[in-house]
Structure 1
Amino acid sequence: MVKRIAPLAVFLTLISWALVNGELLQPALSNPQSSSEEEESSGSFEDYDRPGQRSDRGSRGSCKPQNGIFFTALIPESNSARSVSRNPRLWFYIPESTNVSGEVGWKHEQDDDFKRDNFEFTTASGIVSLQIPPITDEQLTTNEIYDWYFKIYCNPEKSDHIYVNGSVRVVPMPTELNNQLEAGLALEWNDYKEHLLWFDTLTALAELRLEADTPNLQIHWENLLKKLGLENLAKFPINGDLGVIQNQAEFSHESE
């Protein structure tokens, strides 16, 4: 006689097997990387919260933007991000206005006074970069935080200006990237991106676009800015380095 197994017993056996193998109530994942992408897009480029002003929305007089998009530093909302460069390059959107001259200042977070340089503009509005310190003979120190500001005067009298400020934390080169360099392999923008080095990622990608822009690079640029909620700036041209024409380095208190 063949022994019949009750349907309930079969059902319980299948349930037990599914629990053991972790296959019960597992939803289908249409994109297995969605969780990591969501984590990255939620601000993984952010460093410690620092005092600062990412955008000058109080633009007035001759500084008022014609297109309604304000002077903006391309930085996270925390006002701070990381770089492995001891002369990090900062990026900004400069609106269409009468840009006459500017001033950049930087200091160690524990110092009271800023060292600053004044300069005249040599590039048009759009996305521009500025290195700190502007002169490469001077470098920032690794494992330290530096505050910076960037001020633009919109008329010769310097009665109207726009202003943004933030911080950069200089960090050591990650071991993986250092090994890659020692092996003679160039670092790409996405290498920096994987290590959450915002300023280096942005600089490397911008330099690629300046050399030979492609639709694919434009998409990467837009997605990168979107992570910080700055996608409205992706359409503007990248005009490269501002440069310092009048190097008048001096120490002073920051003035907005």
Structure 2
Amino acid sequence: MARSRIDAQPGFWARVVFATGAVISAALLFAGLAEARPRKALSPGAARSRQVSQQQGPPPGYTPPPDRGTPPSTHTTGSRGSCFRHSDRPPLAALVGQGHLSWTISDRPTIWIYNPYTQAEAVKAELVLQAESGDRELYRGTFPLGQAPGIQGIPWPAALAPTEVGQVYRWYVDISCEGMAGAGGLASGSGAGASVPASLTGLVERVSGPPGLGGADQAGAGLGAIARYGQSHLWYDMVTALAQLRLASPGEPELARLWRELLGDEANVGLGFLAEAVLLGEVGAD
């Protein structure tokens, strides 16, 4: 049988094989370059937003513990102190859950307050801790005032023993402005200085937490742990953990939104008037 013209052409199949190999090599080289091409880095804000959005768990929300009696007010209470109320700022207020005793699983919980008074407007800020049973005083000391009004955390004093499970503690915060009544900007809504007590009180009970959930004083918590704090009535741990996240990422809009929603929960928290207040962070007690 006669050979075909193609078969008769010397080197034809060699050229076909070479061309095919060249095409395959080029395709593989292009794919390798595409894989090796560096991806555009996310901005710090976008990276934090992705990290927050990828955290597992339901959105944080607070469920108060069972009501055991008349709770302390979240607003200014007591009769000690001599500070004036600012007409353009919220009053001295405790960041505690609405209408109920607040719980913690932390050995050393942080007490959060909104303090409208600065170093230029007050002379002393004092923390007092008592055992609720018998009103026995456990601690009395001062803590520093900020250079600006805002939300500040007062850690459990290092000189005081850790909290004990089953124990209820009452705390007091007193701001003294004695001798500083002439400070500028202090006025009532009518324009004349009106003295109001600068004193707060609150309750915290140490309880046993759910298995596998540590207190906010032990390690940084993600949104999943924060949601579990809220579901387990652990206000002090919840607000501390969320505040720590916000302080670590002050420009993160998702964390700011969650903070506003938590404080603005009128049924369970009732602190919407502080949702936009500056978060100053924690200060040490003497």
Is residue 177 of structure 2 the alignment partner of residue 129 of structure 1?
Answer: no
Corresponding residue for 1:53? 73
Q: What SS does structure 1 have at the residue aligned with 2:245? A: helix
Q: Is the alpha carbon distance of 1:137 and 1:167 closer, same or farther for their aligned partners in structure 2, counting shifts above 3 Å?
A: closer
Aligned: 1:220 with 2:220: no
Change (3 A) 1:176 1:110: same
Partner Cα separation in structure 1 for residue 64 and residue 273 of structure 2: 20
**Take 1:202 and 1:120, find their aligned partners in 2: how far apart are those partners?**
20
Query: What is the 5 A alignment of 1:92-107?
Result: 92-96=113-117, 98-107=121-130
1:171-186 equivalent positions in 2, closer than 5 A: 171-177=207-213
Deviation, 1:206, is 0.2
Query: Could you list the runs of 4 or more consecutive aligned residues of structure 1 that deviate by over 4 angstroms after TM superposition?
Result: 57-61, 156-161, 184-187
Runs (5+) with no aligned partner, structure 2 = 1-58, 182-194
Matched, 1:241 2:241: no
Which position in structure 1 is the counterpart of 2:170? 147
Q: Is the 8 A contact 2:64 2:97 kept in 1?
A: no
The structure with the larger Rg is: 2
> Which residue identity does 2:92 align to in structure 1?
F
Matched, 1:193 2:193: no
TM-score (norm 1): 0.67
CA RMSD, Structure 1 to Structure 2 (Å): 3.2
Structure 1 residue 73: Cα displacement: 0.2
1:82 Cα deviation after fit: 0.6
Ranked by relative contact order (alpha carbons within 8 Å, sequence separation 6 or more), the top structure is 2
In the TM superposition, what whole-angstrom CA distance separates every residue of 1:74-109 from its partner, at most 9, and x where no partner exists? 112325201001211111111145132111111221
Q: Deviations over 1:124-180 (max 9, x none)?
A: 320001123x116511111221111111112358998511101111011212526xx
More strand by share: 1
Contact kept? 1:192, 1:198, Cα under 8 Å:
yes
- Determine if contact 1:148/1:167 at 8 Å carries over to the other structure: yes
Alignment correspondent of 2:93: 72
The percent identity for this pair of structures is: 26
Distance in 2 between residues matched to 1:238 and 1:86, nearest whole Å: 23
Question: What is the rounded CA distance, in whole Å, between the counterparts of 1:241 and 1:63 in structure 2?
Answer: 24
Confirm whether residue 170 of structure 1 aligns to residue 209 of structure 2: no
Q: Is the 1:50–1:166 Cα contact (8 Å) retained in structure 2?
A: no
Q: Is the 8 A contact 2:125 2:145 kept in 1?
A: no
User: Which structure 1 segments of 5+ residues have no match?
Assistant: 1-36, 179-183, 248-256
